[in-house]
Amino acid sequence: MTVFLLTLAAALAALIGGYVAIRSRRKLNLAIALTSGLVLGLVTFDLLPEVFELAQSEGLDPVWPMVTMTTGFLLFHMVERFILLHHGTEEKYVSHRHPKLGVIRAVAITGHSFLDGLSIGVGFQVSTAVGTAVAVAVIGHRFTDGFDTTNYMLFHQNSLNRVKKLLATVTLMPVIGGLVSLSVSLSEATLAIYLGFFAGFLLYISASNILPQAHSEKSSRKTIALTVIGVFIMFLITRIAVE
In angstroms, the first-to-last Cα distance of the chain is 24
* DSSP at 46: I
What value does the mean pLDDT of the chain take? 78
Phi (first) and psi of residue 187, to 5 degrees:
-70, 150
Region for residue 97 given its phi and psi (left: phi exceeds 0; alpha: psi -120 to 50; beta: otherwise): beta
Per-residue pLDDT at 13 exceeds 60: yes
pLDDT band at 96 (very low <50, low <70, confident <90, very high): low
Highest mean pLDDT among 96-110, 133-147, 173-187: 173-187
Question: Smallest Cα–Cα separation from 31: which of 213, 170, 167?
Answer: 213
Domain extents for the chain?
2-242
Those residues with Cβ within 8 angstroms of residue 21's Cβ, 6 or more apart along the chain or in another chain? 31, 35, 146, 147, 148, 149, 150, 151, 154
